[in-house]
Amino acid sequence: MARAVPAVFGSEFHAQMPVLAYENSAWQPVRWQSAHDLALAPGAHALHYGSECFEGLKAFRQQNGRIVLFRPQANIARMQQSARLLNLPVPEEGAFLEALVELVRRAAADVPDAPAALYLRPTLIGTDPVIGKAGVPSDTALLYILASPVGDYFQAGAPMKLLVETENMRCAPHMGRVKCGGNYASALPWVLKAKAEHGANQVLFCPNGDVQETGASNFILICGDELVTKPLSDEFLHGVTRDSVLRVARDMGYTVNERNFTVDELAAAVAAGAEAILTGTAAVISPVTSFVIGGQEVAVASQERGNALRKAITDIQYGAAADRYDWLVQVC
């Protein structure tokens, strides 16, 4: 029988998790422990100085019963980049991938059927128990991976109202490409304000009018046969889904234009009938239904192209279309 999906995204976990420790200047062999608690010194570096980063990727149960990971090497590379930028020990690709695959194998019974998935949350923390290390990196670290059966983060087909935020930024501009907890804490005041004051589902961060990303996903404008999205920079997270959508869209005949664009251009495009999507591992591909720009709500005329792009990506993930980009790693 198919695994039931908890009502709250990310609230239940597979009982075991792999833990890789960095000690004595070397990564140690993987060990397995309960995923319900973790022994940590109260003085641990991550708890005081934010030496923490994480990843989010999914395993899918395909139509033929096989279980696959979607582009795990891309998430490993992004965590390696986050670790470098945070001066944390950089995880080794081989042991990291092996731990991911073995976790999904052990949690196979927890992988739900389409349209749900098993969400994987690798987390890297600095563990030095020395509170005097405010200006010094942690010499020791732990990498552990949680597995959680999840349904939709944003319910498919539900309204997706974005508040366009032009005054505040999501995080410090040099930290945007780092997937670290501090960036989400930094965005939270604006996310809560947008919900309370405008009933918005997400905030589209556009500091000084520069359209960047939302609090938990990338943003792509669809103007007829052209996709427009901000080029990769330090300011925002380099999404694996964003990259996948751009690849698939090119093969579907779209022109992909990675360029900076402003809120004024966005407003004019939407008024002229453009679509817009959010892309992310949790968000999947969520078509935007309206924007709040300068206090005014503007409806997006169509979600058709966004939904077609969503289908093109999820068909690969669930095995309804060929894995023509070699994105899937088969687990079992």
Ligand X SMILES: Cc1ncc(COP(=O)(O)O)c(C=O)c1O
Q: Which residues contribute to the site for ligand X (CB under 6 A)? A: 56, 213, 216-218, 237, 239-242, 279-281
Looking at beta carbons only, is 240 or 329 nearer to ligand X? Answer: 240
Ranges of H-type helices in the chain:
45-49, 72-85, 93-106, 181-198, 240-251, 263-271, 304-317
Minimal distance, residue 170 CB to ligand X, in Å:
7
Token pair of 60 as six digits: 């899918």
- The CA distances from residue 224 to 242, 259, 263, 267, in Å, are 18, 16, 18, 15
Q: How far is the CB of 91 from ligand X (least distance, A)?
A: 17
Q: Min. distance of Cβ 282 from ligand X in angstroms?
A: 6
- Compute the least distance from the CB of residue 135 to ligand X, in Å: 27
CB 105 within 8 A of CB 97: no
Residues sharing a CB contact under 8 Å with residue 97, sequence separation 6 or more, in sequence order = 72, 73, 76, 329
Closer residue to ligand X in complex, CB, 127/217: 217
Please identify, using beta-carbon distances, which residue of 129 and 207 lies nearer to ligand X. 207
244, 227 Cβ separation under 8 angstroms: no
> What are 331's two structure tokens?
């687990």
To the nearest whole angstrom, how small is the minimum distance from the Cβ of residue 241 to ligand X?
A: 3
Q: Which is nearer to ligand X, 21 or 187 (CB)?
A: 187
The neighbouring-strand residues paired with 16 are 34
Residue 18 or 56 with smaller CB distance to ligand X:
56
